[in-house]
Amino acid sequence: MSAATLQLKQIIHQSKTSSKYTHMKQRITVAKGDGIGPEIMDATLSILLAAGAQIEIDEIEVGEKVYLAGNTAGIAPEAWDIIRRNKVFLKAPITTPQGGGYKSLNVTTRKFLGLYANIRPCISLSPFVHTKHPQMDVVIVRENEEDLYAGIEHQQTDEVVQCLKLISRPGCEKIVRYAFEYAKAYGRKKVTCFTKDNIMKQTDGLFHQVFDEIAVEYPEIENEHWIIDIGAAKLADTPEIFDVLVMPNLYGDVLSDVAAQIAGSVGLAGSANIGQECAMFEAIHGSAPRRAGQNLANPSGLLQGAVMMLNHIGQNAVAENVQNAWLKTIEEGIHTYDIYKEGVSTQKVGTKEFAEAIIRNLGQKPSNLKAVTYGKGQALHLPVYQRKAPQQKELVGVDLFVHWSGTDANELASLVNTINLSQVQLTMITNRGIKVWPDGFQETFCTDHWRCRFKPVAGAAVNKQDVIELLQKAEAASIDIIKTENLYAFNGKPAFSLGQGQ
Ligand code: NAD
């Protein structure tokens, strides 16, 4: 055992026996993960315990070893029991082996445990950590369960694959409300929503609509919506104009890495994954296998996750103490290799020495960086989503998707017109969403994946039996239908997209 390890163990022992905080101990689940995981977890836990965190630790094994032992989920059933019982999970990064159908443990954990909110604060530590954005202080609140990450994908024709983008009202309400409640709890002034609802009017349109509905419940907090493309550009250019940002899953995944990197380094950011019952806290970076076992890695990302965990379990004074000691250490220029810079840093240290410096600084506040005060906040408890009264839903047409390897839409229209019913008829064909019949452009590039839209003729209606009849006629005419999508109106309002150019 090295002298540094021995010293850390002594500190942990002392903290267990002489804590000045009087909380009930909270059992937490800890996974040390792979690569640099064990080193940064040991460093993080030593800091928490030295600061007097009232935690009891149940350690579980997840990640590479579990995957390679034949468990494609990377976690054993007994480990789930411990995570579900303790409800609070501090996880170091893991290595997902390449190939072999291994499922991402992160995505599985988020979905199984309903961890709908992913919170990532990205704050500049300028001038002690280099950034082009010294005023940046942004929190990204990312929807964590749905959107394209539902992972529902199909190949439908030789040329076309699809991924379903699922956005739900409960999903939107929960994440948007979380963003506003977070802003309220942490004294933030503004919540900004990013979507692409000028293009995706149904899915991103719902997210934006719910944002507008919920924003009015928080008149004390400013709100605004940006189209994601210009929003992302502004975030990368002038992040200081943003405060709390809320967005659907994919955009949040991409932009939270951008935000963390431009704030200083992805190696400095932590994240919280919050659900109604359970929560998971982690660093945002991976297991950096090439740095493993060398006492090189920066434990700051995981420590930031752990500070969020302490706030979540109501140990705010300990969280505050750890965060201020960390800020003080950063401003003293005691830096790991990844943020070390000649002229700014004063000492290049390893993982353990960095942890020891933070422990020495416990009880102190930074002099130049802004010290934090966390008040008495605890986990944000949002009301459980209540299903709304059903709307009036009416079938108003059907899209039949056809696999056809011709190129002339007029030819396909002649073929598909043969299955028309007297009261339900072909009205439009699109290819990748663009109208190609009637009155298409010959310049439009077409794949082998065609959408044929059937609507009732004036004065008629359409029912499910008509859809079945259309499918039967298509089968008899050897038209290869790959899927159908019913067209509905909700409360009298059409709830599907038009063809582009329609
Ligand atoms: P990575 O984040 O592990 O490493 C990228 C580079 O960043 C490293 O080479 C290293 O130079 C640097 N780095 C990252 N964290 C650091 C730290 N704490 N201190 C100092 N330097 C640090 O990304 P990767 O190389 O793409 O992925 C490696 C493995 O991690 C893969 O198996 C991947 O699947 C996994 N991963 C896991 C998680 C997770 O468990 N949450 C997240 C991302 C990636």
Task: Report the percent of the chain where pLDDT is more than 70.
Answer: 95
Residue 302 CA: nearest ligand 1 atom is 18
User: pLDDT digit string (tens) for 230-274?
Assistant: 999 999 999 999 999 999 999 999 999 999 999 998 889 999 999
Ligand 1 center–CA 141 separation, angstroms: 22
**Protein residue with least CA distance to atom 31, ligand 1:** 95
Q: Tell me the per-residue pLDDT of 394-436, one tens digit each, with 9 for 90 and over.
A: 999 999 999 999 999 999 999 999 999 999 999 999 999 999 9
* pLDDT, tens only, 154-166: 999 999 999 999 9
Using N-to-C axis directions, what is the helix angle for 300-312 and 316-331, rounded to 10°? 160
Q: What is the pLDDT of residue 15?
A: 42
Residue of the CA atom closest to atom 7 of ligand 1: 288
CB 90 within 8 A of CB 306: yes
Q: Is the pLDDT confidence value at 307 over 70?
A: yes
pLDDT at 12: 42
User: How far out from the chain centre does Cα 305 lie?
Assistant: 15
Exposed e or buried b per residue across 7-38, where buried means at least 16 C-beta atoms within 10 angstroms of its C-beta: ebeebbeebeeebeeebeebebbbbbbbbbbb
Å from CA of 220 to ligand 1 middle: 39
Q: Answer yes or no: is pLDDT of 10 > 90.
A: no
> What does the pLDDT look like over 180-189, one tens digit per residue?
999 998 899 9
Tell me how far the alpha carbon of residue 288 lies from the centroid of ligand 1, in angstroms. 4
Atom of ligand 1 at shortest range from CA of 300:
18
What pLDDT is recorded for position 97?
86
Protein residue whose Cα sits closest to atom 12 of ligand 1:
288
* pLDDT value at residue 102: 83
Q: What percent of the chain stands above pLDDT 90?
A: 84
Dig out the tokens for 436 from the structure. Answer: 């190609």
CA of residue 9 to ligand 1 center, whole Å = 27
Distance 11 CA to ligand 1 centre (A): 29
Ligand 1 atom 32: residue of nearest CA? 95
Amino acid identity for residue 118 in this structure:
N
The angle at the Cα of 73, spanning 60 to 297, to the nearest 5 degrees, equals 55
d(CA 246, CA 143) in angstroms, rounded, equals 8
Band (pLDDT 50/70/90 cuts) for residue 151 is confident
Q: How far does residue 397's CA lie from ligand 1's centre (Å)?
A: 49
Which region among 28-42, 59-73, 223-237, 466-480 has the lowest average model confidence (pLDDT)?
Answer: 59-73
Closest CA to 224 of 238, 205, 237, 211: 211
Q: Which atom of ligand 1 is nearest to the CA of 93?
A: 40
Per the CB < 8 A criterion, the answer to whether 206 and 238 are in contact is: no
pLDDT of residue 13: 41
pLDDT of residue 20: 47
For 288-302, the pLDDT digits (tens) are 999 999 999 999 999
What is the 308 CA–ligand 1 centroid distance (Å)?
21
| Distance from Cα 36 to the centre of ligand 1, integer Å | 9
The least confident of 67-76, 312-321, 396-405, 411-420 is 67-76
- Report which protein residue has its CA nearest ligand 1's atom 6: 288
Is pLDDT of 23 > 90?
A: no
User: Which pLDDT value is given to residue 502?
Assistant: 78
Measured from CB, residues less than 6 Å from any atom of ligand 1 are 36, 40, 93-96, 106, 267, 282, 285-291, 297-298, 301, 338
Look up tokens 């809320």; give the residue.
246
Confidence band for 377, pLDDT divided at 50, 70 and 90:
low
Q: How far is the CA of 56 from the centre of ligand 1 (A)?
A: 28
| Closest protein CA for atom 27 of ligand 1 | 286
Burial class (CB in 10 A: 0-12, 13-18, 19+), 442: exposed
How far apart, in Å, are the Cα atoms of 26 and each of 58, 114, 276? 11, 21, 18
Q: Whose CA is nearest to atom 38 of ligand 1?
A: 286
333-346 average pLDDT score = 94
Confidence class for position 6, pLDDT limits 50, 70, 90: very low
Pick the atom of ligand 1 nearest to 288's CA.
3
Instruction: Say if residue 3's pLDDT is above 90.
Output: no
- Alpha carbons within 13 angstroms on the beta-carbon side of residue 162 total 11
pTM of the model: 0.90
Instruction: Tell me the CA distances in angstroms from 117 to 6, 144, 279, 281, 489, one per residue in order.
Output: 38, 5, 9, 11, 31
Predicted confidence band of residue 362 (pLDDT cuts 50, 70, 90): very high
With a cut of 50, say whether residue 16 has pLDDT above it: no
What residue owns the CA closest to ligand 1's atom 30?
286
How many whole angstroms from 47 Cα to the centroid of ligand 1?
Answer: 22
Contact partners, residue 33, CB within 8 Å, separation at least 6: 41, 62, 63, 91, 92, 93, 94, 95, 287
Counting ligand 1 atoms within 8 A of each CB, the residue from 66, 67, 287, 295 with the most, and so the one to mutate, is: 287
Residue 354 pLDDT greater than 60, yes or no? yes
User: Where residue 499 falls among pLDDT bands split at 50, 70, 90?
Assistant: confident
